Structures are given as C-alpha cells and as structure tokens.
C-alpha cells in the first residue's frame, strides 16, 4: 500500500523580517564597497596630482606668488580619507543584519535597533561626508572628474537605501507576541489548505 504525504514549510513572520533585513544589508554592502573602491581610486589620482603640483612648486623657486599646493594636497587627501572611513561604516552597516540574523533564533528587537541606528547614522552623517568630499574634490581636481560623479551617485543611492532600511525597521512589527500570533495564523491557514488538498487526493483502492 502506498501512502501519499504532503510536506510544506511554513515561513514565519520573523523569518520574513530577517530576510528583509539581510536583503537591505546586502544592498548596503555592495554600495559601500562601490564607494570604497572609487575612493581608493581617487586617492591614487589625487596623490599623483598633488605630487605633480609639488614638483612644479619645487621648480619655480624664484616665484613670489605662492601656489598653495600643500594646502590643496592636504585638503584633497584629507577628504579622501574621510570618504574611506565613511565607506567602511556603510559596509559595516550592511554586515550587521546579515551577522545578527544568521540563525533562526536571533533577537529580532536587538537586530532591528542596531541596524536602525547604524542606518540612520549612515544616512545623516557618513553619506553626506562622501557627497561633500566628492563635490569639493570635483572643484579642486582638474581631471578624472567623472569618477567623483559616479561616487556621488553611489552615495545618493546609499542614502535612499539606508533611509528606507531605517523606516522599515521602525514600521515593521516589534512585539514578539504579534509575530507569534501571525505565525500561528499562517500555520492554521496552511493546515487547513493541506487538509483540503489531502481530501482531493485519489488514494489507490485496497486489493487483498
């Protein structure tokens, strides 16, 4: 005699929230890595430009008009350094939900609070630092300005994602009892559906 069984995995509300948090985190990791790569490229370009300015200043030893190359070099490389730190913060912000929600028994409230705080800080502080640094270097630099434009666009995308992540953390359910109630409703509905499907199955006739 053959028996027909039907197994279906019920996705709980907590698992759905964890997947959404990890999805937002993955997007922030990609955007943060993009900003980090562009910033390292900008550091190489700015260092080369500043070295050329230093050579020109060294050659013109009898000039009475200062070139201010040291100030320009300090400003450009300082802004690049600030962009590196900000991009690392964005990457860490994306890593947090993926790390904290890696297990099924993770603390939902703790994960949401930490991710929300990091996302708010990224949107309000670190993303504006990258945008401001790109804008200032766009004014100071004479070449390769398209890289700064790309960096600014990636930063704006990161602002939208981090803002959306913080809003999602605030708007999604917080109380574990509400999640348990939703999970129970989902399981009950799934059980009723399985019962209906089992009644429709054609079992083989018994033959002694």
**Residuewise pLDDT in 10s, the chain (208 residues):** 444 444 455 667 778 888 899 999 999 999 999 999 999 999 988 888 766 655 554 444 444 444 444 577 788 888 999 999 999 999 999 999 989 888 877 888 889 999 999 999 999 999 999 999 999 999 988 888 899 999 999 999 999 999 999 999 988 877 665 666 666 666 666 666 666 666 555 545 545 5
130/142 Cα distance (integer angstroms): 19
pLDDT attached to residue 117: 95
pLDDT attached to residue 58: 45
Handedness of CA 159, 160, 164, 167 (dihedral sign): positive
* Closest among 82, 99, 154, 91 to 122, alpha carbons compared: 91
Which phi-psi region, left, alpha or beta, contains residue 8 (left: φ > 0; alpha: ψ -120 to 50)? beta
11/183 Cα distance (integer angstroms): 8
pLDDT attached to residue 13: 74
């Amino acid at each position: 005699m053959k028996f027909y069984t039907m197994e279906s995995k019920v996705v709980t509300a907590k698992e759905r929230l964890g997947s959404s948090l990890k999805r937002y985190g993955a997007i922030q990791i990609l955007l943060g890595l993009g900003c980090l790569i562009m910033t390292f490229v900008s550091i190489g370009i700015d260092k080369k430009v500043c070295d050329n300015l230093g050579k020109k200043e060294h050659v013109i030893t009898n000039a009475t008009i200062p070139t201010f190359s040291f100030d320009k070099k300090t400003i450009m490389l300082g802004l690049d350094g600030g962009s590196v730190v900000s991009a690392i913060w964005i990457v860490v912000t994306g890593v947090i939900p993926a790390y904290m929600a890696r297990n099924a028994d993770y603390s939902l409230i703790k994960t949401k609070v930490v991710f929300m705080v990091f996302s708010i800080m990224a949107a309000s502080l670190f993303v504006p630092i990258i945008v401001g640094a790109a804008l200032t270097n766009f004014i100071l630099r004479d070449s390769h300005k398209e890289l700064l434009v790309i960096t600014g666009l990636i930063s704006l995308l990161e602002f939208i994602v981090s803002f959306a992540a913080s809003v999602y953390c605030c708007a999604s359910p917080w109380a574990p009892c509400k999640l348990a109630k939703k999970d129970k409703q989902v399981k009950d509905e799934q059980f009723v559906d399985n019962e209906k499907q089992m009644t429709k199955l054609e079992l083989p006739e018994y033959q002694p």
